[in-house]
Amino acid sequence: MSFDQQILEASKKHPRPARIFAYGTAGFRMKADLLPSVVFRVGLLAAARSRKMNGQSIGVMITASHNPPEDNGVKLVDPYGDMLEATWEPHATAFANAKTDEELVEEFNKLHTSLKINSSAPARVIYARDTRASGPTLVDCLVDALTATNTEYTDYKLLTTPQLHYLVRCTNTKGTQYEYGDVSETGYYEKLSTAFKQAMKNAKSKGTITVDCANGVGGPKLRELVKYLPSQAEGGVDIKVVNEDVHKPDNLNSQCGADFVKTQQRAPPSSKAAPGDRCASLDGDADRIVYYFIDEDSNFRLLDGDRIATLAAAFLGELGEKSGLASKLSIGVVQTAYANGASTKFITENLKLPIQCTPTGVKYLHHAAQRFDIGVYFEANGHGTVLFSPLALKTIATHEPQSPSQADALATLTAATELINQTVGDALSDLLLVEVILAHKAWDPANWLSTYTDYPNRLVRVEVGNRNVFKTEDAERRLTEPKHAQARIDELVGKYTKGRSFARASGTEDAVRVYAEAATRAEADDLAQKVAGIVKQFGGLALSK
Ligand code: NG1
Ligand code: ZN
């Protein structure tokens, strides 16, 4: 079967702007007005991917996460709910960059031939979007591609990114022994709330939390989830939802949200939190979360992805021991070079758990985490989850507890496997997990913070002539190119007590990021500035060649 004519006709409606596109760590993301052709072409690829995967449903999420309101983006979700397989990313890039409608059809057919995709096979796509004003127009572009390729589709309208990942997995596992949950948004709330209630059964304290939803899709979705959750009086938690205005598009991620809080190291100006109040912020599509509070001396204290990782790893380790499963389940933590060195030290020396460092981008962390029985992965910015291997799930499900206390711990561990989103980092699921852990430990945020002290650090964004000249190795911790740049950084770092610094090209912005840690804040700032100076010099040199 040939779709040539249908694709040609439809593609004419979505002319490609003169620009080079690349499917990166976050799919395609840019100013929304540049995206119609990209989304149309991603739709074509989704259809091909579904056909290649025997008609399993592929997810398409239209979102630009924590970016400003005028941006948008699109990314694909593979049948098991994880991110698009890396070998397909270049196909997405090739589709997006095809110069003419004819060339696009050629790329489409070339892919079918080279991968032996049967174009008569059924194709299925499910999709959703965040609250951006450009979303509906981009959905129309997607639908044009799905129609042109005779693809069956379901429009889930507004969802958080992790909700779509959940639905993709549910859709494709329905009726199998791996069924993940009911194929509906309600199914998502039911799965999380049932697990939360179970996990809270043996908790020591109950709490209250204020959640800033970045004025994004997380707002209405968290409000919905709350309806399913027990309140503090009912043995659960009181969740106060703030920054949930999705009707004024300009408010999205503006002066609030996880990215604002993490990068500015302060609470949203609108926050009314009193000292000690537990607060959290989601990002625009609710796949990131960070916690924070104001301490007794009125200082802002951040509990970021590293903190959630250490909290979760410690708790799951304890549950493993208490339930008599410690020897049967290996726990590991996956971080990137941006993880604070103090968290890495704490995990190695106090929790005595293995750590793996991967390049930036959740797909790398996710894959690395799959190698452990229980793999905890978080980026410092708050994106992460915990993966349980099929063997770990079986071990937990078949374990016979030897005492009532083992039974209690096992019940909580079992609930955790249901509560934690297995497809992707999920701010709502992570929120409930942290609340469960704090309730079990009877901890306030200050107790949580006191587990270790972060090393002072600074992240700087450096604009250079050409960021692509910066090549790295060792999970992005060292530069291999430009030549001599790393030697200059090493020389500098050696002069600082507890100094650590690295530079890498951003995958999502036209810039190089420099990270530095040192014994004091002043030294960390100074080191970051000096390394940024080196980067500027080499970035400029490379351009002038
Ligand atoms: P880049 O721009 O490649 O540094 C940023 C974040 C990543 C990840 C992606 C996707 C930092 C330092 N980098 O990547 O962690 O979240 O965006 O959104 O936070
Ligand atoms: Zn996000």
- Indicate whether 174 belongs to any domain: no
State whether 368 and 413 are in the same domain.
yes
CA-wise closest residue to 510 among 476, 467, 460, 459: 467
- Helix 427-441 to helix 218-228 angle, to the nearest 10 degrees? 50
- Indicate whether 169 belongs to any domain: no
Per-residue model confidence (pLDDT) at position 9: 98
Hey, whose CA ends up nearest to atom 16 of ligand 1? 361
State whether 298 and 326 are in the same domain.
no
Long-range contacts of 52-55 (CB under 8 A, 24+ apart): 52/115, 52/117, 53/78, 53/79, 54/121, 55/121, 55/122, 55/123, 55/124
CATH classification of the domain holding 485:
3.30.310.50
Domain boundary among 419, 449, 479: 449
User: Which residues are tagged catalytic?
Assistant: 65
Both tokens of 357, joined, read: 């460092």
Mean pLDDT of the 457-478 span: 95
> What are the pLDDT digits (tens) for 366-419?
999 999 999 999 999 999 999 999 999 999 999 999 999 999 999 999 999 999
State whether 56 and 146 are in the same domain.
yes
To the nearest whole percent, how much of the chain has pLDDT over 70? 99
| Gap between the Cα atoms of 450 and 427, Å rounded | 23
Tell me which amino acid residue 196 is: F
DSSP 380-440: TTS-EEEEE-HHHHHHHHH---SSHHHHHHHHHHHHHHHHS-SSS--HHHHHHHHHHHHHH
179 annotated ligand-binding residue = no
- Indicate whether 279 belongs to any domain: yes
Is residue 544 scored above 60 in pLDDT?
no
| Gap between the Cα atoms of 137 and 143, Å rounded | 10
Q: CA angle 25-475-97, nearest 5°?
A: 30
Per-residue model confidence (pLDDT) at position 324: 97
- Indicate whether 86 belongs to any domain: yes
From the CA of 514, which ligand is nearest? Answer: 1
Domain range spanning residue 262? Answer: 188-302
- Indicate whether 473 belongs to any domain: yes
| Gap between the Cα atoms of 397 and 410, Å rounded | 9
- Indicate whether 178 belongs to any domain: no
State whether 218 and 294 are in the same domain.
yes
Question: For ligand 2, a single-atom ion, which residues have Cβ within 5 Å?
Answer: 65, 283, 285, 287
From the CA of 214, which ligand is nearest? Answer: 2
From the CA of 382, which ligand is nearest? Answer: 1
Q: Looking up tokens 């949950």, which residue turns up?
A: 181
**282 CA distance to ligand 2 middle (Å):** 8
> What are the pLDDT digits (tens) for 285-324?
999 999 999 999 999 999 999 999 999 999 999 999 999 9
| CB count in 10 Å sphere of residue 403 | 11
State whether 309 and 294 are in the same domain.
no
Mean pLDDT of the 33-61 span: 98
Mean pLDDT of the chain: 96
| Gap between the Cα atoms of 303 and 181, Å rounded | 31
CATH classification of the domain holding 228:
3.40.120.10
| CB count in 10 Å sphere of residue 422 | 20
Using CA atoms, how far residue 400 sits from 28, 96, 327, in Å, is 48, 53, 14
**321 CA distance to ligand 1 middle (Å):** 35
In our burial notation (b when 16+ CB lie closer than 10 A, e otherwise), range 104-126 reads: bbebbbebbeeeebebeeebbbb
pTM: 0.96
State whether 317 and 416 are in the same domain.
yes
Hey, whose CA ends up nearest to atom 4 of ligand 1? 506
State whether 251 and 289 are in the same domain.
yes
Q: CA angle 396-398-401, nearest 5°?
A: 80
State whether 144 and 102 are in the same domain.
yes
State whether 264 and 152 are in the same domain.
no
What is the total count of domains within the chain? 4
Domain boundary among 302, 335, 355: 302
CB 124 near ligand 1, within 6 Å: no
CB 511 near ligand 1, within 6 Å: no
- Ligand 1 atom nearest residue 262's Cα: 19
> What are the pLDDT digits (tens) for 230-278?
999 999 999 999 999 999 999 999 999 999 999 999 999 999 999 999 9
CA-wise closest residue to 344 among 456, 455, 493: 455
State whether 210 and 330 are in the same domain.
no
Both tokens of 526, joined, read: 């100074």
Domain boundary among 253, 270, 302: 302
**Cα 42 to chain centroid, rounded:** 20
Alpha-helical runs (H) found in 258-403: 258-264, 305-322, 341-345, 362-369, 390-398
Q: What is the DSSP letter of 45?
A: H
Q: Which of 25, 358, 362 to mutate to test the pocket of ligand 1 (most atoms within 8 A of CB)?
A: 25
- Ligand 1 atom nearest residue 336's Cα: 15
| Gap between the Cα atoms of 531 and 528, Å rounded | 5
**216 CA distance to ligand 2 middle (Å):** 10
State whether 282 and 244 are in the same domain.
yes
Mean pLDDT of the 30-36 span: 97
To the nearest whole percent, how much of the chain has pLDDT over 90? 95
Both tokens of 331, joined, read: 């726990």
Phi/psi class of residue 268: alpha, beta or left (left: φ > 0; alpha: ψ in -120 to 50)? beta
Per-residue model confidence (pLDDT) at position 475: 96
Both tokens of 490, joined, read: 């090493």
- Indicate whether 180 belongs to any domain: no
> What are the pLDDT digits (tens) for 147-206?
999 999 999 999 999 999 999 999 999 999 999 999 999 999 999 999 999 999 989 888
State whether 284 and 320 are in the same domain.
no
**506 CA distance to ligand 1 middle (Å):** 7
- Indicate whether 276 belongs to any domain: yes
Q: Which of 508, 510, 515 to mutate to test the pocket of ligand 1 (most atoms within 8 A of CB)?
A: 508
